[in-house]
Chains A and B, each alone.
Chain A
Amino acid sequence: MIKVIEAGLLSSIQDNGRTGYQESGVIQSGVMDTFTLRIANTLVGNNESEGVLELTLTGPTLEFTEDHLIALCGADFSAEIDGAPAPLWRPVVVKKGSTLHMRFSKTGCRGVIAVAGGFDVPDVFGSKSTYLRAGIGGFKGRALDKEDVLPIGDPGKESEATFKRAEESPFTWSVSGAYTESVYSPEFIRVMPGLQFDEFTEESKRTFTNSTYKLSKQSDRMGFRMEGEPLERTTDEDILSEGVAFGTIQVPSDGQPIILLADRQTLGGYPKIGQVASVDLPALIQKKPGESVRFKWITVKEAQLLFKKREQEWQELKWIINKKLKEA
């Protein structure tokens, strides 16, 4: 079990999200950075989409009441275990009675903690994700609070074996910085034209990619509000509410784009100028309020080829991690 000493700014249990219930108005939720989800889980021997603890801007302080195998991925919260720096992107054994202390994030905005065995919370509509606004899923439907005690599931045989090896001699390798760098540091956030792209003025289409947009303080898991040159449509005709996706870029009447994220509503009624390429969502998600973003247009085909390449790289990395986990 894991005891929460300090909860951090917004720490909640999230997995790959809830699918199949949008027709009834239930949002997807899930981790903001799916890249960290699959790596962190793989590092501790879990299924790629197992629930993890997602942290935002300020990490929590946790006390471990049993030995656990964990992995910290994503933003750097200057984590320490009993005062010693805790490495990121690596499986780490935390001994019973130890305390994991995290601070304000130095780089990045969101991190995850995966625990071998996952968090033992019930599936709600097929997912462990916390739907904060409706108060369902995750740990009691809410973000963590002081004094919460999080139950941990039974790790599988693979995890147990990894655990034993790590106890005998701790792992000294981590996922390569070159790999994470390639995911998190694209020069531009690549975007595809949205459904109402043609309704925007020629000037606005150029402005969107020629200027810089800043992430507003009013950004959260539902959406990033961007501040910059306003975008204009050539019409003021209303749009019927229709489905949206993770990364849909809507433009309300004030012309300031809003990028819809994990906790987006199931339907949106604002015109969509674009859609963030899936491969660049993790990089976007790690921006802090106040940071800037530049966009670049690409085609759907290009976005899918980038995705395919990323998938192949991930499969290779996964193979390497699994091999490393078996080495004594």
Chain B
Amino acid sequence: MKVSYYPLGDQAVLLEFEQEVSPEILSDVQCVYQEIKSDAPEWLIEAVPAYASITVHYDLKQLLDAESAEAVVIGFLKEKVAASKNSDPPEQRVVRIPVCYGGEYGPDLKEVADCHQLTPDEVVKRHTDGDYTVYMLGFAPGFPYIGGLDASIATPRKKNPRSAIPAGSVGIAGQQTGVYSIETPGGWQIIGRTPEKLFDMTKNPSFLLRAGDKIEFYPITEKEYEEWQE
């Protein structure tokens, strides 16, 4: 495992892995993150995992007596990186997400199909057949960055972003696919919508997904979608 440590200002350190998006790097990130979380010192405010890095925010107030606060943090991280070599990544969950494709819930399905000279049904098939992994969450609460979209249905973003995309909308933007976790403006091609909530404050846990999850999208009818809502 190749890692480097960089200061992110006076109160954070970035632990960088090899800069690529791959299941191997994801697994390394998860193993190290797991070690950090299981033994977080008082001064550790929070650790934020991403595609190929972990950002560690530390409480400098608690490290004022140290010769170098940064050295303390990096020393701790080095230990965790070493320890992670003997640990297994967290068990991979499979989360199945129902999607009502096309119609009023997927207004751009036809555009995506036309763009690739496919039928809408074929786009749905290729989208549900994808081998998806959640690499990280960010952008909005519970919003997943998902890898594994079939390149044959990769589609550029819309020229004019919509001012409001409803929560649950399933979209494509370039090589990415994803699900909007809250209503926001956005330019993704919306091909369907899920009745599942990716972010629900009334539930514990409030987030449906976490990094490392495998995702399976499967089609449901409009009627099933509406029944789900009730």
Q: State the A residues within 8 Å of B (CB).
A: 19-26, 124-125, 131, 133-136, 192, 194-195, 240-245, 247-248, 265-267, 272, 275-278, 300-301, 303-304, 307-308, 311
Assess A124 versus B201: contact at CB under 8 Å? Given A240-B52, A243-B48, A311-B64.
yes
User: Is B142's CB within 8 Å of the partner chain A?
Assistant: yes
Does A133 contact B201, Cβ atoms closer than 8 Å? no
Q: State the B residues within 8 Å of A (CB).
A: 6-12, 14, 16, 19-21, 33, 45-55, 57, 60-61, 64, 68-70, 136-143, 145, 181-182, 184, 199, 201, 206-207, 210-211
> Which residue from A24, A131, A265 sits with its C-beta under 8 Å from B207?
A24
**Distance A300 CA – B223 CA, assembled complex (angstroms):** 59
**Distance A135 CA – B184 CA, assembled complex (angstroms):** 11
> Which residue from B60, B182, B207 sits with its C-beta under 8 Å from A278?
B60
**Distance A122 CA – B33 CA, assembled complex (angstroms):** 30
> Which residue from B7, B21, B49, B181 sits with its C-beta under 8 Å from A23?
B49
Does A240 contact B51, Cβ atoms closer than 8 Å? yes
Does B9 contact A192, Cβ atoms closer than 8 Å? yes
> Which residue from B70, B139, B142 sits with its C-beta under 8 Å from A300?
B70
Does A134 contact B141, Cβ atoms closer than 8 Å? yes
Does B9 contact A26, Cβ atoms closer than 8 Å? no
Assess A19 versus B57: contact at CB under 8 Å? Given A25-B141, A192-B7, A278-B11.
yes
Does B48 contact A20, Cβ atoms closer than 8 Å? no
Does A247 contact B136, Cβ atoms closer than 8 Å? no
A22 / chain B contacts, CB cutoff of 8 Å: 46, 48, 138
Does A267 contact B8, Cβ atoms closer than 8 Å? no
Closest CB of chain A to B228's CB: distance in Å? 23
**Distance A135 CA – B206 CA, assembled complex (angstroms):** 15
A303 / chain B contacts, CB cutoff of 8 Å: 9-10
**Distance A124 CA – B206 CA, assembled complex (angstroms):** 11
Give me 30 A-to-B residue pairs in the complex whose CB atoms sit less than 8 angstroms apart, sorted by A's number.
A21-B141, A22-B138, A23-B33, A24-B141, A24-B142, A24-B206, A24-B207, A24-B210, A25-B137, A25-B207, A26-B141, A124-B201, A195-B6, A195-B14, A240-B52, A242-B16, A242-B53, A242-B55, A244-B8, A245-B9, A245-B12, A265-B139, A266-B138, A275-B8, A275-B10, A277-B9, A278-B60, A301-B68, A304-B60, A307-B60
